[in-house]
A and B are shown apart, each in its own frame.
Chain A
Amino acid sequence: MALLYEMAWRFLHALLYVQRALVAWFRVHIWRWKRAVVGLLLPLALGFHNPKKTGAIGKRTSRRVRWGADGRTLEKLPLHVGLLITEEEIHFTDVANLVVWCMAVGISYVSVYDNQGVFRRNNSRLMEEILKQQQELLGMDSSKYSVEFMKNGTDKQEHQVLPCQSVVKVLSPDDGRLSIVQAAQQLCRAVEQKEKTIKDINVTVLDSLLRESKNIPDPDLVLKFGPVESTLGFLPWHIRLTEIISMPSHVDVSYDDLFGALQRYATCEQRLGK
């Protein structure tokens, strides 16, 4: 009997693998077909699919304008978006694209996270890619975006040239549970030194401690890229009301993929217990 069950599970798995492979194959081919059609049908001024026919600067400006306009058409735009990359192999250019698109659409805070700390270790490389893609996609000469990289403690590297419009943060698992533990240690030390009593410890106090070292609002939306169905340690305290939208992969992700997710976010409703 147990053998029968096991065989049933294995059969289901096999079926699912086949289905996923087929869907992935279709997705790539339909995407290519869509791209070709759009390239033919869109007016040249908007078409970055036909780079030879339009001037580079004009094309970038119109894209920037279009993306900004897109942001304003949405019923609601998230204030803070988390990009959670669960895939093992990370393509920095694609991540940089996502960041730049988010900022162009009007999202104020963008966090980038992976559970192995790859972004944290390669933050300068990510920064370079973001600046490069900013230039490539939006044509901005100097950085209009303040890029802050989160580290534990007080040494934050800031790369700021002009007043910021958006803030980009790089996060790792240390910013999650470990930050909560550090806040807990701080409170326990205060109790030990009789600066606080146990009654002083509550959700609000803990929340303000966790916000002090981050000073960004809670993520409204997390875009999870990759097949792993988990938050993998992403800011557990901060994501209590965060919408989690899954995307198949960050590799070769397009603006339309991102905008589709934002549209989905715009239609969701939060009851907050009532």
Chain B
Amino acid sequence: MYKFKKIDPYDWFCGPGSHISIDKLFSNILTLRLCLNLGIHEVTVYAFSIENFKRSKEEVDGLMELARQKFSRLLTEQENLEKHGVCIRVLGDLTLLPTDLQQLIAKAVVATKAHNKCFLNVCFAYTSRHEIANAVKEMAWGVEQGLIKPSDVSEVLLSECLYSSNSPNPDLLIRTSGEVRLSDFLLWQTSYSCLVFQSVLWPEYSFWNLCEAVLQYQLSYRSLQKAGDLHREGQALQQMEADRTCVAELLQHRGNGKPMDAQSRQKELLNYTASREERVHCFLNALQHKRDTVFSDLSSQAVLA
């Protein structure tokens, strides 16, 4: 009934007891296991926000060091990760991080890329607004390269340009520590997701808390499906309208004054839609290739270092 969930352990890194946090960092994998028990195969966690850079230099450096240790440790667990088919993805603006950490992250991502039993997405140096702005940038890049036209920009295309493009939208978002806001986490992707706010703190999060959240999701399921379907219908209609407008413009440009009959207009519309989809497909391939290259370059640099 559900396949995807995001947890936001906002309070991970807070407080002076950061030595305790090291163990809790690995509860990522524990959480994944909890989720797998329930049949959930994908989890996204909010590890480090771009806003967190505002903290004191010592704190930020400390957190970067923790992250280095965590990713290094992950790399030693490769056999385990392969055995369980865990694919690790890191979402965020990695250029904001120290280079050696970028390389470590890239190594982990590249090493687990082919795994497909369960997926752990870690949001690092991430905010939702940056993610959306980045997606717009990527589409602008596509326009600059002549791969797509501005009129090809749509909700669906923007979703495909987000860092989370390889994942479906989450079904359930859990916010711990009693806060009742989204804090710039997956704002676009969770518009039609079930939001559960729980007062338990992340280090104390248990299987029963998870069940409680999933229960809430199940109870809201029908209304959420309905709202989601309504939204998708609206999207499809909008795309059709947009295509029609483009075709009308095209015909006007091309036009020799002769009015077109309905059948030819329909044919033109179908042709246009097919060519637009082809363009978009090529663009998305190019985008994926660009991103993969960044990771593989960083990863190979790490090997040399």
- List the A side residues contacting B129 at CB < 8 Å: 203, 206-207, 237, 240
- List the B side residues contacting A201 at CB < 8 Å: 133, 136-137, 140
17 A-B contacts (beta carbon < 8 Å): A12-B215, A16-B215, A173-B234, A177-B191, A178-B238, A181-B154, A181-B158, A188-B150, A206-B133, A231-B190, A231-B191, A233-B231, A236-B188, A240-B181, A243-B180, A273-B49, A274-B54
Q: Count A-B contacts at CB 8 Å.
A: 151
- List the A side residues contacting B137 at CB < 8 Å: 198, 201-202
Provide the B205-217 mask, 1 if CB < 8 A to any CB of A, else 0.
0000000000110
A272 on the interface (CB 8 Å rule)? Answer: yes
B residues contacting A by CB (< 8 A) are 49-55, 127-130, 132-133, 135-137, 139-141, 143-144, 149-151, 153-155, 158, 179-184, 187-188, 190-197, 215-216, 218-220, 223-224, 227, 230-231, 234, 238
Pick from A177, A203, A234: contact of B130, CB under 8 Å: A203
- Determine which residue in B49, B139, B216 has the highest number of CB atoms from chain A within 10 A of its CB, and name it: B139
Nearest A residue to B217 by beta-carbon distance? A229
- Cα-based distance from A255 to B285 in the complex (angstroms): 55
- Determine which residue in A86, A187, A189, A273 has the highest number of CB atoms from chain B within 10 A of its CB, and name it: A273
A239 on the interface (CB 8 Å rule)? Answer: yes
* A181-B155 CB under 8 A given contacts A198-B140, A231-B195: yes
- Asked if residues A203 and B188 are in contact (CB atoms below 8 Å), the reply is no
- Asked if residues B220 and A228 are in contact (CB atoms below 8 Å), the reply is yes
Pick from A86, A192, A243: contact of B143, CB under 8 Å: A192
- Asked if residues A242 and B182 are in contact (CB atoms below 8 Å), the reply is yes
- Asked if residues A241 and B183 are in contact (CB atoms below 8 Å), the reply is yes
Pick from A188, A203, A236, A243: contact of B181, CB under 8 Å: A243
- List the A side residues contacting B53 at CB < 8 Å: 273
Provide the A249-272 mask, 1 if CB < 8 A to any CB of B, else 0.
000000000000000000010101
Contact size range, A: 35 or more
- Asked if residues B220 and A229 are in contact (CB atoms below 8 Å), the reply is yes
A32 on the interface (CB 8 Å rule)? Answer: no
Nearest B residue to A17 by beta-carbon distance? B219
- Cα-based distance from A203 to B180 in the complex (angstroms): 24
- Asked if residues B143 and A177 are in contact (CB atoms below 8 Å), the reply is no
- Asked if residues B218 and A9 are in contact (CB atoms below 8 Å), the reply is yes
Minimal beta-carbon separation of B187 from chain A (angstroms): 4
- List the B side residues contacting A229 at CB < 8 Å: 194-196, 216, 220
Minimal beta-carbon separation of B280 from chain A (angstroms): 13
Please name the 3 residue pairs, one residue from A and one from B, whose CB atoms are nearest each other, closest first. Answer: A273-B51, A188-B150, A240-B184
Nearest A residue to B138 by beta-carbon distance? A198
- Cα-based distance from A124 to B150 in the complex (angstroms): 35
- Asked if residues A272 and B54 are in contact (CB atoms below 8 Å), the reply is yes
- List the A side residues contacting B231 at CB < 8 Å: 115, 173, 233
Minimal beta-carbon separation of B108 from chain A (angstroms): 25
- Determine which residue in A185, A189, A239 has the highest number of CB atoms from chain B within 10 A of its CB, and name it: A185
A44 on the interface (CB 8 Å rule)? Answer: no
- Asked if residues A187 and B140 are in contact (CB atoms below 8 Å), the reply is yes
